[in-house]
A = this chain, B = another copy of it.
Amino acid sequence: MVDAARPGTAQNPGTGEIFQILRDGLARTKAELADLTGLARSTVASRVDGLLAAGLITPAGEAVSTGGRPPARVAFNPVAGLVLAVDLGATHSTVAVADLSGRILDSGTRPIDIADGPESLLDAILSDGARLLDGASISAPLVGVGIGVPGPVEHSTGRPTNPPIMPGWDRFDIPRYVQRRFDVPVLVDNDVNILALGEQVTAWPQVQDLIFVKVATGIGAGIISGGELQRGAQGSAGDMGHVQVPRASGSTRDPQDERDLEALASGFAIAGALRAAGIPADSSSDVADLVRAGNSAAIEATRQAGRDVGEVLATVVNLLNPSIIVLGGSIARAGEHLLAGVREVVYRRSIPLATQNLTIVQTQAGERAAVLGAAIMVARHVLSPANVDALVARGR
């Protein structure tokens, strides 16, 4: 990974600054860019040439002439590069190819078993990615790979850290392995973090404080606070599943009756509770099917799971004062029951100032939110001022 450079370490100072202005998509002349940045005209001309040579910007017609030859305009070229975005789940993986604006050009999904370990799985997934790149409607170089995995990740190194459902992946250097095949920056993150990014970009682009909660086989959260995804000191931020909660509904309560949220309210836990009541359910997708079919025990169990998730979210709301909470994952998508349980508890238990403008909704970003989030994560990284400067310098 290339880190953001301090001011003054740029090889061609001003390149990144000019490019950030053009990223809004509007076309501008060199004179306009000089006015906007304060850079000398000669500097702007040189930097624009570099960005044109790197393909990151493109000629965009002419401005209206004020006499003499009309000045040429340039604009951001989102098809200058391609990104591979991977969403790695426990039982399936999706690979997408996207342009530099995060637009998904093509994608494919395959069944996997995450327990097969990193090497054979990554080989298969990267082959899928290579086929997508070969067949892409746009011909441009690959500039980065983004991968979401179902477990905690040390974001700075891209290594999973004690991931409970990923045997064989602990501390595996995913970026180095991927780079043997694709020698570009590789960013790895927890799947719920990329879902939060995808949801924000798709449905809530103006929102600075958003919590995305995934309730499926397990439970996790992606936290966007102050406009930034928060990963914490070791990258484990958002671990809601291991928060210990008392069971709120019980009429009697034993001091030992406190469990991880995941053990109470995940799809896995709900399936177990249904089996104990004589209803066949092996997995979170079985639970979702039963809920959709109107099974009253599954519906009540899902609503109670919502209340349990709400107990933890009530604390999250007091602590972080988000404006949006988004519920995703298979259990949330099975209907309004999880949502209803969450709302019931959060609006009753959190402080009024934090709930008066709080919206709690189901995910709106759909199936491709994860690969979209991974594509956005990589595009933001490779198009940061320092990295654009390095990209242009390398291209010369």
Which A residues lie at the B interface, using CB under 8 A?
A: 7-8, 10, 12-15, 17, 20-21, 35-43, 47, 152, 161-162, 208-209, 221, 223, 225-226, 228, 230-240, 242-244, 246, 248, 250-255, 258, 312, 314-316, 318-323, 349-354, 356-358
Contact = CB atoms under 8 A, between A and B. Distances in A.
B8 A36 contact: yes
Given A10-B38, A13-B35, A319 B239 contact: yes
A247 to B, nearest CB: 9
25 contacts: A7-B21, A8-B36, A13-B37, A17-B38, A38-B39, A38-B43, A40-B41, A162-B353, A208-B233, A209-B232, A223-B320, A225-B230, A226-B230, A230-B320, A232-B322, A233-B357, A235-B321, A236-B354, A239-B318, A239-B321, A240-B318, A243-B315, A243-B319, A246-B246, A253-B253
A244 B7 contact: no
Contact of A237 (B240, B255, B320): B320
Contacts of A15: 38
Contacts of A240: 318-319
Contacts of A242: 318, 350-351
Contact of A226 (B226, B315, B353): B226
Nearest to A152: B353
A236 B319 CA distance: 8
A89 to B, nearest CB: 21
Contacts of A225: 225-226, 230, 232, 237
Given A39-B40, A322-B233, A357-B233, A255 B250 contact: yes
Main secondary structure of the interface of A (DSSP, over half): loop
B20 A38 contact: no
A55 B237 CA distance: 43
A47, A236, A246, A323 — most chain B CB neighbours (10 Å): A236
B314 A234 contact: no
Contacts of A12: 38
A216 B323 CA distance: 29
Contact of A312 (B226, B233, B315): B315
A162 B357 contact: no
Given A39-B39, A226-B228, A253-B255, A162 B352 contact: yes
Contact of A252 (B238, B255, B352): B255
Given A232-B354, A239-B319, A240-B318, 13 more contacts: A7-B21, A14-B37, A15-B38, A38-B40, A209-B233, A230-B320, A236-B353, A239-B321, A239-B353, A243-B318, A244-B349, A246-B258, A312-B315
Contacts of A237: 225, 319-321
A231 B349 contact: no
B7 A17 contact: yes
A40 B318 CA distance: 50
Contacts of A209: 232-233
Contacts of A314: 243-244
Contacts of A352: 162
A36, A226, A235, A352 — most chain B CB neighbours (10 Å): A226
A204 to B, nearest CB: 12
A232 to B, nearest CB: 2
Contact of A321 (B39, B231, B350): B231
Nearest to A41: B40
A12 to B, nearest CB: 7
